[in-house]
Amino acid sequence: MGKPHVVVLGSNFAGLGAAQKIREFARDSVDITVIDRKSYLLFVPNIGIEVLEDRNPMYSMHMPLIPAMKEDHLDFILGDVQNLDVDGQWVEYLPVERLGATVAKIHYDYLVIAVGARLAYDKIEGFAEYGHTVSDTYYGNRLRHYLYHEYQGGPIAVGSARFHQGTKTRDLVPTAEAACEGPPVEVMLSMGAWLESHNLGGPDKVTVFTPAEWIAEDAGQGIVHALLSKAGTMGFHYVNNTHDISRITQDGIEFAHGPSIEAELKIVFPDWVPHAFLKDLPISDDVGFVLTDMTMRNPKYHNVFACGDAAAVTVPKLGILAHMGADVVAHQIAKDLGMMNARKADEPMRPIVDCIGDMGHNQAFYISSNTWYGGDREVFRMGHVPFLLKLQYKEMFFRTKGKVPDWGIPVADFLTEMLTKG
C-alpha cells in the first residue's frame, strides 16, 4: 500500500506553512501534493511600504515557491482548483502552465484547504475607474504610479467595504463587520506621513472610514480608543458606521449609510468572499467559508481541514491566524498518522490579533490582543522597533523559505514590548 496522500490547496501563508509543518511532523510517512495557481508566494503585508517608497512591489514581494517545494519534497502542481468531491475524495484542477490544458483529478486521503479568499473589488461599482488599493503588486504598482505621477494633492479616503461572515461559527468566534482593518489603519497613518515628507500637507487630508461601530474592533476596545485618540491628535479624520461602500466616483466614496466622503484618492479594501468552488459544499458554511472546529478539522468530513482566510473560524482574515491554523492542521494530521500524541496535537487554535503596521517616518504600530475573543491580553505600542521588525520578519521569511523559526514571532513580540514604550 502507498503512503497516505495529503493534498494542500493553496500555497501562500496558510498552505505553504501547513505543507511544511506536515512534512516536519509526519516526516516521510506521507506523500504531499500542493496545488496553487501561481508559483510564488505573495508577501502581502509589506506591499504598502514598497509603494510609498516608490519601489515596484513586484520586485521584492514575490517569493519563489519551487525551491521551498524541493527542499521539503513536496510535489507541486501549478493549477487552478475548480471543484471538490469530498465524498469521493477528489480534487479537480486545471493545469495553468499553458493555455489549453484539460481538467485533471487528484485523489487525497487528507485535504487541507488554504485557498484564502477572493478580494471582491469587482463588487464595488466604480473601483476599476477610480479606486486604488495595496493588496497585490498589480494594484500596489498602480497606486505608486498615481502617487508619483498623477496625484494633485487632494483629500484621501481610506477604508473597507462590509464583510459578510457566515453564521455557523458564532459559537466559536465573534462576528466582524470588516474582514481585516489593520491595512486601512496602516495606510491611513503611512499616507499621512507620506504627505508630510513630500510637502503635500499631512494627516488632516486623510479620512479613514469603517463599516463598523469601531475601526479594527477585533484589536479590542482599549487599543481602538488609544489608536483613535492618537490619530485624532495627529489630525486624521474618522467616519464610522458607513455599513458598506455603494460606489466610488471621481469625486469620492458613497456609502450605504451616512454622507459621502469627498476624495481625490480613494484607497479601499473590499469584501473578502469565499471562492465560488467552495460554495454549497457539505464542508462549507452558509456563505462558502470552510467549516472547522478550533483544531481546523471539518466536523463532518474528518479528513478535511482548512486554515488561513478560507476557514470560517479565521476572523479577522489575518496572516498570524493563517500561520497558527497551519500549525494546528499539521498537528492533527500527524496525530492521525500516529506521529504525534493526542495531548499535544489536540491543543486548539487560540486566536490572537497580532499585527505590525507601517506608520511612515520609519515607525510602526504593534498590536497584540485577544480581548475580542474573551482573553485579557491587550498590548499596543508605536515606534521604530516594530518597523524594524516588520522589515526583518519579511527578510527572515524569504531567507528561510517560509520556515520562520518557532521562536521568531514570540521574540519579535518580546523585543517590541521591551524596547517600545506603551
Ligand X SMILES: Cc1cc2nc3c(=O)[nH]c(=O)nc-3n(C[C@H](O)[C@H](O)[C@H](O)COP(=O)(O)OP(=O)(O)OC[C@H]3O[C@@H](n4cnc5c(N)ncnc54)[C@H](O)[C@@H]3O)c2cc1C
Binding residues for ligand X (CB under 6 A): 10-15, 35-38, 44-45, 80-81, 114-116, 134-135, 180, 182-183, 275, 308-310, 317-320, 322, 355
- Degrees, nearest 5: CA angle 132-133-136: 130
Q: Closest CB to ligand X among 192 and 325?
A: 325
- 154 contacts 132 by C-beta, under 8 angstroms: no
Q: Closest CB to ligand X among 345 and 353?
A: 353
The amino acid occupying position 264 is E
Q: Closest CB to ligand X among 309 and 336?
A: 309
- 219 contacts 369 by C-beta, under 8 angstroms: yes
Spatial separation of the C-alpha atoms in residues 344 and 41, rounded to whole Å: 29
328 burial level (CB within 10 Å; 0-12, 13-18, 19+): buried
Q: How far is the CB of 307 from ligand X (least distance, A)?
A: 7
Q: Closest CB to ligand X among 333 and 337?
A: 333
The owner of cell 485523489 is 107
Helices (H), 89-166: 127-130, 137-145
Spatial separation of the C-alpha atoms in residues 232 and 203, rounded to whole Å: 9
Q: How far is the CB of 315 from ligand X (least distance, A)?
A: 11
Spatial separation of the C-alpha atoms in residues 26 and 329, rounded to whole Å: 12
Q: Which residues pair with 35 in a beta bridge?
A: 9, 77
Sequence length of the chain is 422
Q: How far is the CB of 326 from ligand X (least distance, A)?
A: 8
Q: Closest CB to ligand X among 94 and 172?
A: 94
Q: How far is the CB of 261 from ligand X (least distance, A)?
A: 20
Q: How far is the CB of 47 from ligand X (least distance, A)?
A: 6
Q: How far is the CB of 59 from ligand X (least distance, A)?
A: 18
Spatial separation of the C-alpha atoms in residues 108 and 88, rounded to whole Å: 9
Q: Closest CB to ligand X among 30 and 35?
A: 35
Q: Closest CB to ligand X among 115 and 382?
A: 115
Q: Are strands 62-64 and 40-42 parallel, antiparallel or unpaired?
A: antiparallel
Classify residue 72 by its DSSP letter.
Answer: T
Q: How far is the CB of 85 from ligand X (least distance, A)?
A: 15
- 412 contacts 397 by C-beta, under 8 angstroms: no
Q: Closest CB to ligand X among 160 and 337?
A: 160
Q: How far is the CB of 342 from ligand X (least distance, A)?
A: 26
Q: How far is the CB of 277 from ligand X (least distance, A)?
A: 6
Q: Closest CB to ligand X among 11 and 169?
A: 11
Spatial separation of the C-alpha atoms in residues 255 and 242, rounded to whole Å: 6
Classify residue 311 by its DSSP letter.
Answer: B
Q: How far is the CB of 199 from ligand X (least distance, A)?
A: 26
Q: Closest CB to ligand X among 13 and 25?
A: 13
> Which residues lie below 8 Å from residue 418, measured CB to CB, with a gap of 6+?
none
Closest CA to 19 of 87, 95, 71, 82: 71
Helices (H), 154-311: 182-197, 221-234
